[in-house]
Amino acid sequence: LRITPVVLSGGGGTRLWPMSRADHPKQFLALTDTLTMFQLTVQRCSDPGRFSAPLVVAGSAHATIVQEQLAALGVTDATVLLEPCARNTAPAIALAALTVPPETPILVMPSDHVIKDAAAFDIAISAALPLIADGWLATFGITATGPETGYGYIKIGDEQAHGVHRVARFVEKPDTMRAAEMIASGDHVWNGGIFLFRADAYLEALATYSPDMLAAAREAMAKARSDGNALYPDADAFAACPSDSIDYAVMEKAEHVAVVPVSMGWSDIGSWDALYEIDGEVNSGPVMAIDSARNLVRSDGINVHMVGVEDMIVVASGNDILILPRGQSQDVKKIVEALKNKR
Amino acid sequence: LRITPVVLSGGGGTRLWPMSRADHPKQFLALTDTLTMFQLTVQRCSDPGRFSAPLVVAGSAHATIVQEQLAALGVTDATVLLEPCARNTAPAIALAALTVPPETPILVMPSDHVIKDAAAFDIAISAALPLIADGWLATFGITATGPETGYGYIKIGDEQAHGVHRVARFVEKPDTMRAAEMIASGDHVWNGGIFLFRADAYLEALATYSPDMLAAAREAMAKARSDGNALYPDADAFAACPSDSIDYAVMEKAEHVAVVPVSMGWSDIGSWDALYEIDGEVNSGPVMAIDSARNLVRSDGINVHMVGVEDMIVVASGNDILILPRGQSQDVKKIVEALKNKR
């Protein structure tokens, strides 16, 4: 059975403001490539020997941009599930699992992550498939490269198959000291939010641990309206669905949960600094930089001219420009907050 | 006899790029006040007890902006001399001197200098007037505040009247060591390019030292066309005029040349750093600065958002933004050069 890629595109974060905004979030930006991160995610699973047509779950506000970006990629066989409201990842994945035949393996991927080493990802998928066929739920554990406090961690347990381990424990976002301890232990990986399981295995786990969620999702899909390649789950039914992450609702509770540790050049590009770490010095767009070094400069229109500037992040989008020192890009939230308060 | 203020507005420098441009030079910007530097220069000489209506000498490309800025100031009695081409200061002042009655004292001022202490300037003018009546040519010598290499210097000679000295020597722009020596000597001042003399005294000096220039200026004015308050010297005649500065053409050669040393909060705002020195930290326009300090940030439209930025110059104008560290604003010329080469 071929794998159905499920691309979760519901996010609307502003950590990459001013380029990412509520109406144009990160996954729809071409930050690391000429393709957007959404397009790269779809393209990553386009081998017809392994994958069937992709299933995209997106907010209905992003229907147009999703269709445009699929079309630009030449993808004509995708199904687009348009959520009438946001209910976090567990219900979104439920909608997808209810759309495919029960025994279909589904590979659930956020649409705003970068994976530089596709071959490593492919090997990890292959490693997981036998357990998946037996009804296991698998998550991919990203080899940690530092004591990040922004991710959940997974403690790796006993090996169940070559390269695939039982999950010993899920660990919520830690403080720096706890993160450093986990890194030092050598048996913890980051929870990257990428999952592989059979649709029926997921739905069975939901039936056990979140039956209300499953019932709401079923009703929403039973009453769904379709329009071309788009599916519109029923708004009232979906609104009644509890909101929860797949980690809380299912993975931390289920019995047969596996982790596949993998080092695959992964990043969630959670900040401009994270993008700099991946791509290094970049001047993108109409940028003139003289006697300047170690900057990340991007503009989609404003002409940026710099002399003697070092270690800065400069991002211009529309009529807005952001300027801050490298290493401090988490402070973008201070700007976004201040802008909210101004309105 | 009242003094006629002669405001020289022919400059088109780009040291304050991107705000100052060839078609919108520095003097027409409101950098230090709600009024532009041109308007401040005109307003500085508006005491009707001392000054008669101003005479503005500007490039014909700036006719509209000059008239607009005079009108906004409520000045209705100005005469605007529109040069058909640029011939440096000596011919520009000749045109002005030929426009007023011969015995009129004229106070020649660049339109892009700031004078914070108008009272000190006024006292210096009063000190010079008796010698002016006797036919001397006076320049105002700015008390040097540092070993600047961008200005000419004047060595102060014997005192001729209270506070007014014979010029011992004009010194061209020096290197830093020579500048420091002159500052240490205590008897050198900056040549600020502000002059006071009777129109006929200036024209007599021109007749002696630059007769071709005087002849060309006379012909240009004899054939001048007038339109409302505007005077258009004849283009062909003025084109034939030699191009030279008043310093080279007249002041360094003439016999009775006086300097009035004065400390009056003068600046030619020759760079963004110079503006910072005068005004200190400024956020002007749509600027949001969080956890930021000691910056000069100006925008005429682009929304500038900064976090954790220190000691930077950020200037946005139109669709251009300039970013550079404080102390390096002379490097604006590298940008301007690079832009020229791109075209």
Interval B137-173: pLDDT, tens: 999 999 998 899 989 999 999 999 999 999 999 999 9
**With pLDDT > 70 as the criterion, what percentage of chain A qualifies?**
99
Interval B31-46: pLDDT, tens: 989 999 999 999 999 9
pLDDT at residue number A73: 96
Q: Which residues contact B340 (CB under 8 A, 6 or more apart)?
A: none
Chain A residue with CA closest to B320: the answer is: A303
pLDDT at residue number A23: 81
With bands split at pLDDT 50, 70 and 90, how would you rate the model's confidence at A63?
A: very high
Q: Using a CB-CB distance cutoff of 8 angstroms, which residues of chain B are in contact with residue A322?
A: 305-307
Nearest CB to A323; choose among B309, B320, B339: B309
Interface residue ranges in chain B relative to chain A, Cβ cutoff 8 Å: 18, 288, 290-291, 301-309, 312, 314, 316, 319-325, 328, 331-332, 334-335, 338-339
Q: Which one of A292, A307, A311 would you mutate to disrupt binding with B, by most B Cβ within 10 Å of its Cβ?
A: A307
Residues B152 and B118 sit within 8 Å (Cβ to Cβ)? no
Is A302 close to B301, i.e. CB distance below 8 A? no
pLDDT at residue number A218: 98
Interval A42-61: pLDDT, tens: 999 999 999 999 999 999 99
- Which helix (H) or strand (E) element contains residue B63? helix B63-73
Interval A287-332: pLDDT, tens: 999 999 999 999 999 999 999 999 999 999 999 999 999 999 999 9
**With pLDDT > 70 as the criterion, what percentage of chain B qualifies?**
99
Chain B residue with CA closest to A292: the answer is: B324
pLDDT surpasses 80 at B13 = no
pLDDT surpasses 80 at A154 = yes
d(C-alpha A71, C-alpha A80), whole Å: 12
Strand B296-299, strand B282-284: pairing: parallel
pLDDT at residue number B182: 96
Is A322 close to B314, i.e. CB distance below 8 A? no
pLDDT at residue number A327: 95
Q: Using a CB-CB distance cutoff of 8 angstroms, which residues of chain B are in contact with residue A316?
A: 302, 321
d(C-alpha A315, C-alpha A26), whole Å: 14
Is B290 close to A332, i.e. CB distance below 8 A? no
Strand A164-171, strand A153-161: pairing: antiparallel
Nearest to B132 by CA among B48, B202, B56, B231: B202
The stretch A142-170 carries a mean pLDDT of: 95
pLDDT surpasses 90 at A258 = yes
- Quick one: DSSP state of residue B248? I
- Which helix (H) or strand (E) element contains residue B142? strand B137-142
Is B321 close to A304, i.e. CB distance below 8 A? yes
Is A320 close to B305, i.e. CB distance below 8 A? yes
Interval B63-106: pLDDT, tens: 999 999 999 999 999 999 999 999 999 999 999 999 999 999 99
Is B320 close to A303, i.e. CB distance below 8 A? yes
**With pLDDT > 90 as the criterion, what percentage of chain A qualifies?**
92
Is B307 close to A18, i.e. CB distance below 8 A? no
Count of alpha carbons within 13 Å of B170, Cβ hemisphere only?
22
Chain B residue with CA closest to A339: the answer is: B288
Is A304 close to B323, i.e. CB distance below 8 A? yes
pLDDT at residue number B114: 93
pLDDT at residue number B342: 81
Interval B189-234: pLDDT, tens: 999 999 999 999 999 999 999 999 999 999 999 999 999 999 999 9
pLDDT surpasses 80 at B135 = yes
pLDDT at residue number A10: 84
Is A323 close to B312, i.e. CB distance below 8 A? yes
pLDDT surpasses 80 at A343 = no
pLDDT surpasses 90 at B49 = yes
- Taking one residue from A and the other from B, the number of pairs with CB-CB distance under 8 angstroms is 97
Distance in Å, alpha carbon of A307 to nearest chain B alpha carbon: 5
Chain A residue with CA closest to B307: the answer is: A324
Q: Which residues contact A342 (CB under 8 A, 6 or more apart)?
A: none
Strand B230-232, strand B225-227: pairing: antiparallel
With bands split at pLDDT 50, 70 and 90, how would you rate the model's confidence at A66?
A: very high
Interval B311-320: pLDDT, tens: 999 999 999 9
Nearest CB to A308; choose among B306, B316, B331: B331
pLDDT surpasses 90 at A278 = no
Chain A residue with CA closest to B300: the answer is: A319
Helix extents (H) in A175-233: 176-185, 199-209, 211-222
- One-letter amino acid identity for A69? Q
Residue B67 backbone dihedrals phi, psi, to 5 degrees: -65, -40
The structure's pTM equals: 0.87
pLDDT at residue number B1: 84
Output Rg (C-alpha) for chain B, integer angstroms: 20
pLDDT surpasses 80 at B272 = yes
pLDDT at residue number B267: 93
Nearest CB to B302; choose among A291, A321, A324: A321
Interval A239-249: pLDDT, tens: 999 999 999 99
Interval A190-202: pLDDT, tens: 999 999 999 999 9
Q: Using a CB-CB distance cutoff of 8 angstroms, which residues of chain A are in contact with residue B305?
A: 18, 320-323, 335, 339
What is the residue-averaged pLDDT of chain B?
Answer: 95
d(C-alpha B160, C-alpha A8), whole Å: 86
d(C-alpha B326, C-alpha B148), whole Å: 17
pLDDT at residue number A92: 98
pLDDT surpasses 80 at B12 = no
Q: Using a CB-CB distance cutoff of 8 angstroms, which residues of chain A are in contact with residue B291?
A: 331, 334
Q: Which residue has the higher pLDDT, B221 or A340?
A: B221
The stretch A212-225 carries a mean pLDDT of: 98
Nearest CB to A321; choose among B303, B308, B324: B303
The stretch B243-272 carries a mean pLDDT of: 95
Interval A76-106: pLDDT, tens: 999 999 999 999 999 999 999 999 999 999 9
Is B308 close to A325, i.e. CB distance below 8 A? yes
The stretch A166-189 carries a mean pLDDT of: 95
Q: Using a CB-CB distance cutoff of 8 angstroms, which residues of chain A are in contact with residue B304?
A: 321, 323
Distance in Å, alpha carbon of A31 to nearest chain B alpha carbon: 21
- Which helix (H) or strand (E) element contains residue A67? helix A63-73
Distance in Å, alpha carbon of A304 to nearest chain B alpha carbon: 5
Q: Using a CB-CB distance cutoff of 8 angstroms, which residues of chain A are in contact with residue B320?
A: 302-303, 305
What is the residue-averaged pLDDT of chain A?
Answer: 95
